[in-house]
Structure 1
Amino acid sequence: MKLSQLKLATPYMDLDSIFFDEVEPTPLKKPFLISVSQDAAKLLGIEDDISLDENLVNIVNGSHKLKGSKTFSMCYAGHQFGYFVPRLGDGRAINLGKVNGQNLQLKGAGLTLYSRQGDGRAVLRSSIREYLMSEAMHGLGIETSRALSLIGSDTDVARSRWEKGAIVLRLSPTWVRFGTFEYFNAIGEHAKLQKLADYVIDESFPYLKGEEGVYLKMYGEIVKNTAKTVAKWQSVGFNHGVMNTDNMSIDGRTIDYGPFAFLDDYDSNYICNHTDVDGRYSFKNQPGIAHWNLQQLAVALSAIVNHDSALEVLESFGDIYEREYLAIMYKKMGLVNSFESDLELFKWMLRALGASPIDYTKFFRLFSRYNGDKTDILELVELQKPMSEWLDAYDKRLEKENLSNENRHKQMLDVNPKYILKNHILQEAIEKAQMHDFSMIEELLTVALSPFEEHSELEYLSKSAPAQSKNLKLSCSS
């Protein structure tokens, strides 16, 4: 089957018209294909090479409509940097419809009712980042929206300078956000809010249908999924950068890749978004912000969910997050048996990483082959004493394990990625692409989808950031 042979449905448009606005995409000039993710295509039931579909570029450009498709943008509100904005919505995203459990959406396809002062466009640099990161997060085993294809164009887009427009065709089982519920609560449309909850249960939590207290249980699932996803972010050193409630998916997956970053050297205080002057969305604050966002969702649901009951459910967030996070981190450390002292050993490790300092990803990959010889690890650090002392304690802790070094190494290599799409690597790919060389995008897509494997021919993609590029702050991609 080809992409162009898919037949879409638009169940979201069965809701009242206040939920969305019908809008046609505005095609880019002289569009051309940059990349496709065949792995993402499998979600749609497509096994054929989608790059060979003669209609692909026009589908992504919005000039060829799939059978059954009705194009629309979704309305929502949101707390942005802690302040409530009563109406936001898809300012540059246009939905095509749904097939095989995936909602297809074009990002950068032109003006919508919700564009406000924006132009409805996305530029090449930010589109490359979203395209690759959507697939990279999936490769890391983190719940995320996916990216099916990326096209470029000859359309000029005004930012701080003139740039070329691009569009990403992205997929997600849902595009409903915390902010969607906030919108209907804010305007007092509680009957419509309940309709939205019913839609969300049908789309994301069908196993809850018919249960007593179904809306409270839905909220519990949202709390659980969000806690687990943020725990995975922290484990790989991912900083989302803009955890506004309108950027929080109702099913807990990662969406809306703006000024994101992965840690270079370990720094829990890292802020990747330069507009985040107060550090609200710093790396260490992400679990707390997720909890705060869930509190706002509880308020938004208060017309259909008893608020006190919701807050009781929310109390589970911390335990779920910590259990998930520590389970992952202990695996990254190669610990199988469990002891009370492991928590302090883990905290000590983070202190040593911060004091050394050392590249977070490089450390864990090298650590996955640690056999008692500190040389390779200590060569990576500027200040060796904190790391050396911690490794002494770790050696003693390993005496309580039964695994052989070989088996421990294997287990650690399966959870400690070699390839993380750091910003300095993405920037290299962007600069090449701006010169119409898209080869590095394909190389990055390869390692993004299999980050735990060795790719000898792509070894250079695992290099640490040069000193001047470490833990930089980024502008909001657009």
Structure 2
Amino acid sequence: MKLSEIKLTNPYLALPDECYTRVKPTPLENVFLIHANEEVAKLLDIDSEELYSDAFVEFVNGAWQLEGSDPFAMCYAGHQFGHFVPRLGDGRAINIGTIKQWHLQLKGAGQTRYSRSGDGRAVLRSSIREYLMSEAMHGLGIESTRALALIGSEHKVYREVWETGAIVLRVSPSWIRFGTFEYFSHKKRYEELEALADYAIAESYPHLVDAPNKYLQFFTEVVARTARLMAEWQAVGFNHGVMNTDNMSIAGLTIDYGPYAFLDDYDSKYICNHTDQGGRYSFGNQPNIGEWNLQALMHTLSPMAHIHKLEKALAQYTELYTDRYLQLMGQKLGLDVLKDEDLELIKHLLGMMQGLQIDYTLFFRTLSHYEGERSTLLSLGLFHKPMHEWLDSYDERLKANTSTTEERHSAMLQTNPKYVLKNYMLQEAITAAEDGDFSVVDRLFEIAKDPYAERQAHERWAGATPDAFKNQKLSCSS
């Protein structure tokens, strides 16, 4: 379909007026296309050749609105680092319409009513990070928002220094957050709260539209999706960095990519956000924060469902999270049937990795080739005894497997990625892009699409993070 043939819809605007504010994008100056995602274009039924037209760049810049577009910013509240803020909202994101149930949003397209003292812009570095990482999470099989395109500009934006502005055209099956519910609950606007819940159910849980006790069932499924998402983050070694309730998706998606990081060396206490001085959103604390945020959501729904029943639903979180996490870790270890004692094997492994400061991704990829010869694995850590002790336990455990060694290797290589987009890799792309070279963005995008593939040309990115770049912390403007 050509851009001129598309007709957008705006289902969110059927909600009460207080849910949003209409606003027009403010285009950037002297814009150009950096990258377009042909796979996402197919989801939207947009012809791939349209992505490389001048009209498409103007569309992403907010300078040309497609038929039916009625741009708006969404209103929500949120607990930020545990402290409730009664009104936040889309401060630098503008929703421009819906295609085939995918909601399109321009991030960095100018000020909205909710920008507060901000300029509503996104800089090039943060836009590259979001564009690449949303595709990387999708490639890893983790539920995430995605992006259709990234444009750059000569528009000057000030953060700590002057930088250039950019826009990411993000797409998602839902942009509703836990904090969206908190906004109306805090204001005791229960009619709007119920309308929002009905909308969210129809959008993300349509099988519950006519279900008895649908609000309780809705919360029960949000608990399950959140538990699954947290387990997937932990298993792959992803640290989000800003798990405020306004950054938590009601649909169980990974949203709002800021100062995130994949683990370099395994460290359960790793903090990727330098604002998070207390470690609230440290890597190891993410499952607990997932539950904390669900508890906040639970209280917003209590006017529509019995609180004790909601509490029972929330009480399932730990078991749901643990079951999924153990299942994923068992897959990473090549265990074809989980046993009760596998929890201790996993704890032993993580303790060994923490003590030896072993690269998380590299270890599991290397283990995927393990046949009993230990030298390659031993070379990953400075001391060999702890690794020998764990491998002794692992060898013994593998005896209970019913699969062959070849089958185990094959399954593990499809579970343990060869590549994750670590921050030093992204910084390389950003540094080149700031000099006008977007080739590294192109290469990392290809890696992100299939992180399990062997790529001889990119082998240098499959090793341990260079010492000079390990465990860096980033700001929320990242």
Query: Counterpart of 2:16?
Result: 16
Q: Choose 239-248 or 336-345, whichever is displaced more.
A: 336-345
User: Residues 308 and 189 (structure 1 numbering): CA distance in 2 closer, same or farther, change over 3 Å?
Assistant: same
Query: CA offsets per residue over residues 211-233 of structure 1, 9 Å max, x none?
Result: 11001101111111011011000
Mapping 1:42-441, distance limit 5 Å: 42-46=42-46, 48-441=48-441
Question: 2:330, 2:338 within 8 Å by CA — same for their partners in 1?
Answer: no
Question: 1:418, 1:454 within 8 Å by CA — same for their partners in 2?
Answer: yes
Q: Choose 177-186 or 304-313, whichever is displaced more.
A: 304-313
1:50: how far off?
4.1
Question: 2:230, 2:286 within 8 Å by CA — same for their partners in 1?
Answer: yes
Q: Choose 354-363 or 429-438, whichever is displaced more.
A: 354-363
Q: Work out the CA distance in 2 between the residues paired with 1:189 and 1:393.
A: 57
SS at match of 1:147: strand
SS at match of 1:153: strand
1:400: how far off?
1.4
1:465: how far off?
1.4
Amino acid at match of 2:213: G
SS at match of 2:335: coil
Give the TM-score taking structure 2 as reference length. 0.98
Question: 2:60, 2:106 within 8 Å by CA — same for their partners in 1?
Answer: yes
Amino acid at match of 1:308: H
Question: 1:38, 1:50 within 8 Å by CA — same for their partners in 2?
Answer: no
Q: Work out the CA distance in 2 between the residues paired with 1:50 and 1:218.
A: 39
Q: Choose 115-124 or 342-351, whichever is displaced more.
A: 342-351
Question: 1:122, 1:167 within 8 Å by CA — same for their partners in 2?
Answer: yes
Structure 1 residue runs without a partner (length 5+): none
Query: Counterpart of 2:39?
Result: 39
Question: 1:357, 1:383 within 8 Å by CA — same for their partners in 2?
Answer: no
Query: Counterpart of 1:447?
Result: 447
- Structure 1 residue ranges (4+ consecutive) displaced by more than 4 angstroms after TM superposition: none
Q: Work out the CA distance in 2 between the residues paired with 1:255 and 1:409.
A: 32
Amino acid at match of 1:135: E
Q: Work out the CA distance in 1 between the residues paired with 2:339 and 2:419.
A: 31
Amino acid at match of 1:474: L
Question: 1:356, 1:384 within 8 Å by CA — same for their partners in 2?
Answer: no
1:464: how far off?
2.2
Q: Work out the CA distance in 1 between the residues paired with 2:357 and 2:210.
A: 53
Q: Work out the CA distance in 1 between the residues paired with 2:102 and 2:407.
A: 38
Q: Choose 393-402 or 456-465, whichever is displaced more.
A: 456-465
1:437: how far off?
0.2
Give the TM-score taking structure 1 as reference length. 0.98
State the Cα RMSD in Å.
1.0
1:249: how far off?
0.6
Q: Work out the CA distance in 2 between the residues paired with 1:300 and 1:449.
A: 37
SS at match of 1:154: strand
Q: Work out the CA distance in 1 between the residues paired with 2:451 and 2:4.
A: 31
1:4: how far off?
4.6
Question: 1:25, 1:109 within 8 Å by CA — same for their partners in 2?
Answer: yes
1:54: how far off?
3.5
Identity over aligned residues, as a percent? 55
Q: Work out the CA distance in 1 between the residues paired with 2:390 and 2:49.
A: 50
Question: 1:4, 1:56 within 8 Å by CA — same for their partners in 2?
Answer: no
1:39: how far off?
1.5
Q: Work out the CA distance in 2 between the residues paired with 1:387 and 1:4.
A: 60
1:424: how far off?
0.4
SS at match of 1:103: strand
Q: Work out the CA distance in 2 between the residues paired with 1:4 and 1:331.
A: 47
Structure 2 residue runs without a partner (length 5+): none
Amino acid at match of 2:263: L
Q: Work out the CA distance in 2 between the residues paired with 1:178 and 1:342.
A: 34
User: Residues 17 and 298 (structure 1 numbering): CA distance in 2 closer, same or farther, change over 3 Å?
Assistant: same
Q: Work out the CA distance in 2 between the residues paired with 1:159 and 1:455.
A: 37
SS at match of 1:468: helix
Question: 1:270, 1:284 within 8 Å by CA — same for their partners in 2?
Answer: yes
Question: 2:327, 2:338 within 8 Å by CA — same for their partners in 1?
Answer: no
Q: Work out the CA distance in 2 between the residues paired with 1:369 and 1:231.
A: 24
Question: 2:8, 2:69 within 8 Å by CA — same for their partners in 1?
Answer: yes
Q: Work out the CA distance in 1 between the residues paired with 2:216 and 2:49.
A: 43
Q: Work out the CA distance in 2 between the residues paired with 1:137 and 1:220.
A: 25
Q: Work out the CA distance in 1 between the residues paired with 2:193 and 2:232.
A: 30
1:5: how far off?
3.0
